[in-house]
Amino acid sequence: MRAKRYGAVLAALVMTGAGMAVAAPTVAAAPAAACPTGWGSLPKSATDADFGPLTDIRTGRHECYDRVVFDVPTAGTDTIGYTVRYVAAVHQDGSGRVIPVSGGAIIEIRVAAPSYDPQTGAATYPGRAGRTLPGVDLTGYRTFRDARFASSFEGDTQVGLGVRARLPFRVFQLSDRLVVDVAHTW
């Protein structure tokens, strides 16, 4: 008789344990970020207003894209002029010299802000023609491969951005800076 009772208790415990396992909450994996699409890879541009110089160029990594930011503090809410487009090679303004840029594709970025003070000629951004952008380290970026200063000529600053492949990009302005995002995928 005792064996039957122990068997019944054991069966009840197994059933309860099994029920608890089924009723235990499960943790769902976090959904992958919905990356924006539809930016396209055709040239983008905007006309400009007159204001002061470029003071910094910096980059950042995000879940869906890599970003380059051009700081133009005196722009405020005025439109910062730009042209951003894929090119076969970056030809330096003024001289026409080819600036070597590594990557599967090259984006040329022209920002209507000089890297010098137009009043004094003093440098406001330390970029040097043909060299990598000062302070920019692209190690670990999914899309960016190279970033080269090309020139600052007649009020425009020109940069060559090497990317993994021809990928969609967007350009927009946040107050006193121009932002270029290049997607990791189509």
Q: Which fold has domain 44-183?
A: Immunoglobulin-like (2.60.40)
Least confident of 14-28, 74-88, 143-157: 14-28
Residue type, 185: T
Q: Which residues contact 28 (CB under 8 A, 6 or more apart)?
A: none
Give pLDDT, residue 52. 79
User: Cβ distance 82 to 153 under 8 Å?
Assistant: no
User: What pLDDT does residue 32 have?
Assistant: 62
* pLDDT for residue 168 is more than 90: yes
Cβ partners under 8 Å of residue 57, min gap 6: 68, 69, 70, 71, 125, 127, 133, 136, 147, 159
User: Regarding predicted confidence, which is higher, 115 or 28?
Assistant: 115
Q: pTM for this structure?
A: 0.81
Q: What distance in Å separates the CA atoms of residue 162 and residue 144, rounded to the nearest whole number?
A: 6
- 19-28, 56-65, 80-89, 97-106: segment of lowest average pLDDT: 19-28
Q: Summarize pLDDT for 96-152 with one digit per residue, the tens.
A: 999 999 999 999 999 999 999 988 999 999 999 999 999 999 999 999 999 999 999
